[in-house]
Structure 1
Amino acid sequence: MNVRFLLIVALAVLPAAGCRRDPYMQFYIENMNAEKRVLEDSLYELKYDYDAKLEELKRVQKELDALKGGSTSGSTTRSAPPNTGPDPKSILAPPSIDEGTPTDPSTPRPGGTTKPGEIQNLQPPELEPGEETNEISKSSTDPSQLVTQLHINQELTAGRTGPDGEGITVVFEPRNANNQFVPVPGRVTCALLDPDKRARIDLWEFDEAQTEAALYNAPDHRGIELRLPWKKETPDIPRAHLFVRYWTPAGQPVEADCEIPIGPSAPLAARWTPRSLQRLSSSDPRMAENQPAASPEAPPPDVGSQATSEGNKRPGPQPSADTPPVKQAKRSEWRPHR
């Protein structure tokens, strides 16, 4: 009884288990069906577009045949659009011209009439002579006199804070494209900056007249030498950054910059090149007051009489041990290699 019951249940369950499909296969079939439906929709849309274009082609072909053959049977003609433009008659109408009133030939001209054979006494206009240009403006057209760069003489440029003088001495040379010195004055602006704080310490401005007085063009001393006194308190820094801006006669700015030492023992005093007293007193009025004035009453020394008097001169008193020897000041000389 039990065996028979189990066989019946097994026969009933086996057909149901054999008809069950794989889930992956079922998912694949559903995707294929969805893609097939999308393709069918695309096919129907393309077929509709094809039929519409075919009908339009037939209609245009009929209109073309009607225009070629002149027959209007079986074809639909379009009504011409209304003409909204201006009237052609108004466009082609000639413009009206005002001829005006003729002038009376007997009326003379404002300047009067000149009979044939008469020559008017024409006075030439008086021309005022122009202003004479100086040598600087004439030399500005010369390419060798055009300033294109600045050269700061770092051996003669330094700042001092000692008792000898507080301020900065700047010596620079305007040069052309061939690196040659151009003795042309111009407006100059000098600015001193603190390299650590990146702040401006002082600013000095000089006009063309001041730079012309400070211009030197000697073999042993050339350039523009400017003395810059401290306007504010003396900076307590060992070095500073100096910017020099020079304006040419044409108004073009030329710049140069460098670092300079600042201190009571600046190397400027040991390397300074002395200038002649005549050049100082004639060109730099600021230094003329420190020079000894020449006495007009003193005659020039006679070389012959001086030699004769030296031969008859008695020996002077010898310095004693208590008297210190007098040291003669030695004049510094210019050296090419400092």
Structure 2
Amino acid sequence: MSVYAASGVLDDPGPLPYGRPAIEAAGLTKTYGSGDKAVRALAGISFAVPAGSVFGLLGPNGAGKSTTVKILTTLSRADAGTASVAGIDVHRRPAWVRRAIGYVSQKPAFDPMGTGRENLVLAGRIHGLSGPSARARADELLGRFGLAEAGNRLAGKWSGGMQRKLDVATGLVHRPSVLFMDEPTTGLDPQARAEMWAEISRLAREDGLTVLLTTHYLEEADRLADRLVIIDRGRVVAAGTPDELKAQLDGDTVQAEIVGAEQAEAARSVLAGVPGVHDVSVEETTVRARVTNGAATLPAVLAALDGARVGLTAVTVARPSLDDVYLRHAGRSFDRADAASFPRQEKNR
């Protein structure tokens, strides 16, 4: 029995039509406030998510990721544009959408004064499962996430990694076809983050679940996402698989840490004249440049900087990264954009 039928409230809208994306967004716009205080959170976001894949919304804090997810999960309405999830229009049939999706928010959603098992049973009952079905599903999920031994302990006493697993299990209790995860690994230690990455991959690869996750971790997007869109200032600036996006940048990246901002500007001028060097950019004391062949060009780069008496503290050569992709399309490094937007209020994310 589907969760629609189990609820006793709505008719089952049926399976997703073959070949249709699990999530579609077209021209989504959203503005908070009005007049001089208006903030444009989304400025025409469009993308499609293939069924059974992990899809990433990558962008710094304040880019519009969470606003996009709120619209797709019916927690907010777009000012303009259209969106569907599991083939259901989010504006016309929000109740149907809520029954087709799971949602793991940034902030904990469990009751810290309830046990892990009680939290899962309650979630199951809310989604229309019978008592026995909810208890069986709770035990199944506790076992799957390695939480069975802690199941009867208060969730508020669990470690951060265990609590995050409980949040994910709660989002899966009614067997959704699409799972939204908003910054799923923020605040986790490296081991807990690696465990969460493995579970997210398994959800799509083994269970056939469609997972949309937002993240501002470049490594997370690179490791997990089958496809992703990079969002900056409420707009999609790049889209594709991680490998496709990095392949668009020919050659290597040379990054030099310079002694002092004034010398960094001098380094920009010097490197612009070195054969094989292009796309030179400066952020504070960091100079980045694209080069055709890093190993062959690096000696000429070092010689040019030394000849101009530019002080170096470090220099590296690397293959293109998602940070390089972001720099190319947004005109600033990811870390710099993230730091600049950190003070912005959560509602504008």
TM-score bucket (shorter structure):
under 0.3
- Choose between structure 1 and 2 for higher RCO, CA contacts under 8 A separated by at least 6 residues: 2
* TM-score, length of structure 2 as denominator length: 0.19
Between structure 1 and structure 2, the one with the greater Rg is 1
